[in-house]
Amino acid sequence: MPRLDFWYEFASTYSYPAAIRIGTLAQARGVDVRWRPFLLGPIFADQGWRNSPFNIYPAKGRYMWRDLERICADRGLPFRRPDSFPQNSLLAARVATALAGEARADFSRAVYRAEFAEGRSIDDRALIERLLADLGLPAEALQRASSDAVKTAVKASVDEAKRLGIFGAPSFVAADNELFWGDDRLEVALEWAVARA
């Protein structure tokens, strides 16, 4: 079965529309998606950025918010810009890492909806607890999220992302390590996965 790794960062704006649509698009093409939460912070830091490039470069930032708004409107996706950006995504990344399979995908979509459809703060432990409960997932995932095993797994994901040449999110990586960056490359990435399977 063709496979595509979906690399996402919970603070990343364009990861929101990608997370919402990747399941349906992949299923229609018979592609198995592996959800790979990671952190862009350490990768940006390697480039000398201590903030989001959308904040460092205001013209780029203004454009991104407008572009995201248009994309969401086109796709009938609710959108609400959170008060603060970028958000601290460490807790959400750890909880997603503590989950697996469909539970991870469901939780990840719920985090993006809370953040970019409702404008909520995803570093709020109570919010994360509620999202897990709403999905019928064990609250215990939150405890496991702070375990050494999960912390190590998140660090390993960041290292793997660097090795794959990932520099932004969302990114898509096919089984042959071919890299695609950006929500607008999702269709091409899926085609690549199917053609090379």
Residues binding a second copy (CB under 8 A): 47, 57, 59-60, 62-63, 66-67, 70, 74, 165-168, 179-182, 184-185, 188
Cβ 85 to a second copy shortest distance, Å: 18
Report how far residue 194's alpha carbon sits from residue 178's, in angstroms, rounded to the nearest whole number: 12
Integer CA distances (angstroms), 36 to 2, 8, 41, 155, 165, in order: 16, 6, 15, 12, 15
Closest to a second copy by CB, 48 vs 101, is: 48
Nearer to a second copy, 65 or 88 (CB): 65
Instruction: For a second copy, give the closer residue by CB, 85 or 167.
Output: 167
Q: How far apart are CA 116 and CA 122, in angstroms?
A: 10
Distance CA(154)–CA(195), nearest Å, equals 31
Cross-strand pairs, 3: 32
44/107 with CB nearer a second copy:
44
DSSP secondary structure code for residue 177 in this structure: -
Q: Measured from the CB of residue 56, what is the shortest distance to a second copy in angstroms?
A: 8
Judge residue 130's burial from the number of C-beta atoms within 10 Å of its C-beta, 0-12 exposed, 13-18 middle, 19 or more buried. Answer: middle
Q: Give the residue with the Cβ less far from a second copy, 47 or 148.
A: 47
Sign of torsion over alpha carbons 88, 94, 99, 102? positive
Smallest separation (angstroms) from a second copy to the CB of 179: 6
Quick one: DSSP state of residue 120? -
Tell the smallest beta-carbon distance from residue 159 to a second copy (Å).
14
- What's the min distance (Å) between Cβ of 184 and a second copy? 5
